[in-house]
Copies of this chain bind each other. A is one copy, B any other.
Amino acid sequence: MKKPLILIVNDDGITTPGIRRLIDIMNNLGDVVVVAPDKPQSGKSHSISLNTVIRCSPFVFDNGPQKEYACSGTPVDCVKLAFNKILHRKPDLCVSGINHGSNSSINVVYSGTMSAAIEASISGVPSIGFSLLDYSIDADFSECSNFISDISLSVLKSGLPEGVSLNVNIPKSVRNKSIKGIKICKQSKAKWIEEFDEREDPFGRKYYWLTGDFVDLDSSKDTDEYALKNHYISIVPIKFDLTSYESISEIKTII
């Protein structure tokens, strides 16, 4: 049987533990090509490089069988460049992550990890973004690895509906508390309450750091936030058609 071709990308950068673990897992499932940012690109959402050039070079990190390329662009640039300049055929799967930190709920719109997955699905390639709810550089990926392998195998076998990618979030590993299973969910209604840390530079000029608190506004039990709070892995099928079909008739009465 022909081995599947798997593209790996992330937004934290090509050397981070999350993507290194994802490479290990995917090497057992197929032929792996990594095209990932050469520096942190968190919060880059669906950014593309319109005003700057993109560089991309072969990269060696370990003795694994995967082929790797480090790219100066955004996560979405990485996917576009992989499809157009690096891969010799359309991959069978694109996986993004494992992100250090949550991409559940409203975080999906800011996330470079998820935008890379969405970009693959725009090009017709089944895609999955994986995120672990642990920002630490020492995050423990051991418990989630089998789940990631199983979910990826299911998608390799069955594909995904057209234009859909999966936003997979995994609870932080906690001693004596196992992951209970997987829930297919909707995106929870939530938002960030920004704070902006205001400071003064050595020359007396103001500057700001963006910071804030995440607030879940959704009380229903079929959301990703609810699943994660109850120590389940959440999977939200997401699409890149932003049309609010249910409000078209109302808008016609307003305009």
Measuring CB to CB, which residues of chain A are less than 8 angstroms from any residue of chain B?
40, 42-51, 53-56, 73, 76-77, 80-81, 83-85, 106, 108-110, 115, 118, 122-123, 151, 154-155, 158-161, 163-164, 166-167, 182, 184, 186-187, 189, 191, 194-196, 198-199, 205-210, 235-245, 247-248, 250-255
Contacts and interface: CB of A to CB of B under 8 A. Distances in A.
A205 B47 contact: no
Given A109-B240, A208-B55, A242-B109, A251 B166 contact: yes
Given A53-B208, A123-B191, A44 B43 contact: no
A143 B51 CA distance: 29
B115 A45 contact: yes
B50 A80 contact: no
B182 A255 contact: yes
Given A85-B196, A255-B154, A210 B54 contact: yes
A255 B242 contact: no
A159 B162 CA distance: 34
Contacts of A43: 47-51
Contact of A161 (B48, B186, B207, B244): B244
Given A48-B43, A210-B49, A247 B164 contact: yes
A254 B84 contact: no
Given A42-B51, A84-B195, 4 more contacts: A43-B51, A44-B47, A189-B241, A237-B251
B53 A209 contact: yes
Contact of A248 (B47, B81, B184, B198): B184
